[in-house]
Chains A and B, each alone.
Chain A
Amino acid sequence: MTTLSIQMLRKRYGTKEALRGVTFSVEPGRVVGILGPNGSGKTTLLKLIAGLLTPTDGEVIVDGGTGRGRLHENVAYLPDAPSLYPWASVAGSAEQHRRLFADFDPGAFEDMRASLGLEPSAKVGSLSKGGVEQLGLALTLSRRALITVLDEPLLGVDMHARGELLHGIVRGLRPDAIVLITSHLISDLEPLLDDVIMLRDGEIVLSGDAEELRAKYGLTVENIYRQELAS
């Protein structure tokens, strides 16, 4: 059974159509890169999968079932802008996640927090931009969710921490879990990717197994992206 199935998904904001009938599915254990220029519909797609928006048409099917409750229970979502409360401490933010999300693993968070050097007593508001990004990512990855959705997780993260975070993305995953990830830093992300979906103007222009695409084009995913979305 596919873990995630997207069926003819459409999303309209007033007169603007952000997604125009997107269809794809993801098998268990895959890391999928959603790539595309600004305004291509990446964030809208991720928000629909996370159950934060309602589709104009089409369905998001998770593990054979639909409904927003199912999405909230099974999808861990990291937004492109931090959603944490600035007055909460690092430890307090973890406690909020433990209370709000049944699949949150405090032990996994503690390991990641320690390796990133985040002080438990530090207030979110006092952390650097990169620090907040790291904390948000650590909290999201500490959920043992079936689907992890990461919207630009490397934005504002320095090169040193980037490696640790990329490692963290796949380290604690359930064997049946999938990861959907967007980033403009494709070269950093490329070693992680099993599948690639390229979007432009709300439509899929190219998708497939990352290894097969590299073999077919004789290029890296980053260069395929440049070639396909520049044309």
Chain B
Amino acid sequence: MDLQRINVKFFVENPDGILLTDFIRIFNSWIQASDGEYYDIADYHHVHAGPGVLLIAHEANISIDNTGNRLGLLYNRKQPLSGNNQEKLDFVFRSALEFCRRIEEEPAPQGKIKFGGNEFLFLINDRLLAPNSAATFRAVSPDLEKIAKTLYAGAEFLMDHRNDAREIFAVKVKSLVHFEVLELLHNLQDHGELKKEGSWDTTRSLSK
């Protein structure tokens, strides 16, 4: 399966007291610091358990998402990625975790926001490519397991998939060991460097 429209969500560890509206200001500062990368901000803090506040861009949207009543950072890749599945996953996870790190470093009024690294939701936002079925899970599992092993540096983890043809394909991955966002980024980095010594060409742009 050629993985596309990959989404990853890392959950906030300390959601109490976090105001979604604070992210409008945070995302606006990101826009000001960028050079035309981000398109706009969409504010849906008024809806229950919704997409929260989104930072819209051409390639991917980033949002402080409250779907399922669980606050987290959702990285929603929209444009196609090239490379093999591991390269795509590496790119998506690295991007998502970088945004988590960036948010953790923001001086939010309530204090620092922490993302739990030991759990994430992996989604494919394309019902045609990836219907939410056991067959899709079988097809995706090897690649997902591989990236999870890299992220968790060999620590044990569980993959939870529920068949529901109506929902988009989603797998919850949870490690039994606690991880910080920075640790996951380091694990990806270490793995990338190991690969670099081998056959991977990490300098290649993954976006088409």
| A interacts with B | no
